Amino acid sequence: DAKTTQPNSMESNEEEPVHLPCNHSTISGTDYIHWYRQLPSQGPEYVIHGLTSNVNNRMASLAIAEDRKSSTLILHRATLRDAAVYYCILSWGPGANNLFFGTGTRLTVIP
Amino acid sequence: EAGVTQFPSHSVIEKGQTVTLRCDPISGHDNLYWYRRVMGKEIKFLLHFVKESKQDESGMPNNRFLAERTGGTYSTLKVQPAELEDSGVYFCASSLPPGPNNTEAFFGQGTRLTVV
Q: Do B31 and A49 touch (CB under 8 A)?
A: no
Helix (H), strand (E), coil (C) string for chain A: CCCCECCCEEEEECCCCEEEEEECCCCCCCCEEEEEEECCCCCCEEEEEECCCCEECCCCEEEECCCCCEEEEEECCCCHHHCEEEEEEEECCCCCCCCCCCCCEEEEEEC
Q: Do A97 and B45 touch (CB under 8 A)?
A: yes
**For A39-48, what is the mean pLDDT?**
93
**Of residues A43, A94, A103, nearest to B103 (C-beta):** A94
pLDDT band for B13, please (50, 70, 90 cuts).
very high
Average pLDDT of the residues of chain A = 92
Which of A1, A62, A97, A105 is best to mutate for the B interface (most B CBs within 10 A)?
A97
pLDDT band for B1, please (50, 70, 90 cuts).
low
